[in-house]
Structure 1
Amino acid sequence: MKKQLLVLSMLLFTVISFAQEQKKLPSVSLNTVDGEQVNTGNLGIKGPIIITFWASWCPTCKREMGTLNELYADWQEETGVTIVAVSVDDEKTKNNVPTLVNANGWEFLVLMDSNSDFKRAMGVSNTPHTFLINESGEIVYTRNNYSPGDEDLLYEALLKLKK
């Protein structure tokens, strides 16, 4: 029990420290599932951005991705948001990503972070982990893990950016 509390405390400290210290999106070079190279610090996207870290082997991640995909068109029309899904699949599983993306018809930008460079830069310890970035590139909302209904909290945070 003490060990679990220590691990939880360390995780919470990491998240809080990151939230206090890291307000801007770090600049890391990643590839799309099509092999095009992009820089996370300059995605060329206008409007708010939802960045979600996920993995093909993570059932919770796939549930969140499915939910976000269902809501994406409406959210995009109403708020101008762009969703960027960052796969943290490693060399063993990264080939599953394009198949999964295509099979599910996910319409958002999917980036590959096979070396976990962006994951480390963002202070992500496990998946799914979701961030909301405002138009100035500042992190304004973060959530670790996913439960049905969490998308409502994300949507509320997204709506606050419109004010």
Structure 2
Amino acid sequence: MKKYLAVAVLIGLVIWGVYDVQGNKSKSPDARSNSASVQNTNEKSDSTGVTTKIDQGQPLKVGLEKGNLAPDFELENADGKAIKLSSFRGKKVVVNFWASWCPPCRLEIPEIEKYYTQNKNTGIEILGVNLTTAEKSQATVTSFIKANSITFPVLLDKDGDAAHLYDISSIPASFILDSRGVIQEKVVGPMTYDSMQEMLGRIK
């Protein structure tokens, strides 16, 4: 009886896309049911909390809350090209943390791809940050990119630095930035085409 109960629980977790690797952190029930937990044993980055001046000298705190300047990072894409977040100033940017083994990420990616193909020429950029340290291999990621015809930029977080910087414990997780690089929305769980359209539509 216990064996069947355990199997039923496992099936339920797969259906809801909940994978607990390190144990639950406090978040809303909706976020828990639509995200996958990932291991993050590092301390919080010292990069947050720095004050940076943009927009005619107005100081902005670098951090992870709405209204903060998003922490900058530089990662390589699958072709080995280094890409820096701050190089996209002047564009709205979606920074999406994901992994190929994560069921809700798999559901979300076609929605992101659809949005990207229809809006990439309108001053919007999407950066898919793959948690490469949580993958079987880098080859797994590149194969997934090809198999799913992903055309938006995918950056490989090979050392976990970006996930550490953004304090990522559950995926998918997204940060929506305005054209100044300021965080306007944080989303834990899968986005849809319509939700992206709505969020980015009201951001300058």
Q: Percent identity?
A: 25
Given candidates 59, 76, 94, the residue that maps to 1:50 is 94
- When Rg is computed on C-alpha atoms for both structures, the one with the higher figure is 2
TM-score (normalised: structure 1): 0.78
Deviation at 1:139, TM superposition (A): 0.8
1:33-68 CA distance string (max 9 Å, x none)? 11112233x234541011100001112112111111
Is residue 82 of structure 1 aligned with residue 100 of structure 2? no
Letter in 1 for 2:118: D
Match of 2:77 in 1: 32
CA distance in 2, matches of 1:67, 1:25: 24
Q: Secondary structure at the match of 1:157?
A: helix
**1:4-29: CA deviation from partner (whole Å, max 9, x where unpaired):** xx8426xx9x9xx8316x71222223
Q: 1:122 aligns to what?
A: 166
Q: Which residue of 1 aligns with 2:200?
A: 158
Q: Distance in 1 between matches of 2:76 and 2:25?
A: 33
Change (3 A) 1:55 1:140: same
Task: Supply the distance in 2 between the matched residues of 1:134 and 1:116 (Cα, whole angstroms).
Answer: 25
Counterpart position of 2:183: 139
Q: What RMSD, in angstroms, separates the aligned Cα atoms of the two structures?
A: 2.7
Q: Distance in 1 between matches of 2:143 and 2:197?
A: 28
Structure 1 gap segments, 5+ residues each: 1-5
Instruction: Assess if the C-alpha contact under 8 Å between 1:50 and 1:131 holds in 2.
Output: yes
Correspondent of 1:19 among 53, 65, 68? 65
**Kept after mapping to 1: 8 A contact 2:89/2:180:** no
Q: 1:154 and 1:112, CA in 2 relative to 1: closer, same or farther beyond 3 A?
A: same
Q: Count how many residue pairs are aligned between Structure 1 and Structure 2.
A: 148
> Is the 1:130–1:142 contact (alpha carbons within 8 Å) kept by the matching residues of 2?
yes
2:19 counterpart residue number: none
* Mean CA deviation greater in 55-64 or 152-161: 152-161
User: Which segment is superposed worse, 91-100 or 134-143?
Assistant: 91-100
Question: How far does the alpha carbon of each residue in 1:76-117 deviate from its partner, in whole angstroms, 9 at most, with x for none?
Answer: 34x421111000021633221111111211111110002211
Q: Is the 8 A contact 2:92 2:179 kept in 1?
A: yes
For residues 105-120 of structure 1, the aligned pairs below 5 Å read 105-120=149-164
Choose 25-34 or 50-59, whichever is displaced more: 25-34
Change beyond 3 A, Cα 1:62–1:30:
same
TM-score by length of 2: 0.64
Gaps of 5+ in 2: 1-23, 32-43, 45-62
